[in-house]
Amino acid sequence: MAIKTVLVVDDSKTETMYLTEILVNSGYVVCSAENAEQAFASLKASHPDLILMDVVLPGRNGFQLTRAVSRSPEYAHIPIIICSSKSLETDRIWGIRQGAADYLTKPVSPALLLARIKSLDGG
């Protein structure tokens, strides 16, 4: 599956701008959401090929949202990379158990992020 469109789910405008700049400069189309409701609206409207998910979100957190997306028949095919400031190994394991394909700790290195996306893209 070719990854072309990425949904960034993060309530920090600064972090969203940072990730968007990395992705756009690498040729990806980016859409964003600040919470679970916006994320589901964007999933329906944008049909992203990948989701970058923060954990600390207002309302439903990123772990809960990852679980909901990854267990939804409509969206389960979309890989999720959690990008979080929560850096404990237990957080990483929990994120993967919720359905995330990968877990990166903020601040996310552009090179590492792009390498992880490329690995999900079959290359």
Residue 116: give the domain boundaries: 5-120
Mean pLDDT of the 96-105 span: 98
The pLDDT tens digits for 38-90 are 999 999 999 999 999 999 999 999 999 999 999 999 999 999 999 999 999 99
Q: What sign for the dihedral angle of Cα 69, 71, 75, 77?
A: positive
Give the side-chain half-sphere CA count within 13 A for 57: 27
CATH code of the domain in which 53 resides = 3.40.50.2300
Query: Are 88 and 95 spatial neighbours (Cβ–Cβ below 8 Å)?
Result: no
pTM: 0.97
Give the total number of structural domains in the chain.
Answer: 1
Instruction: Give 23's pLDDT tier (boundaries 50, 70, 90).
Output: very high
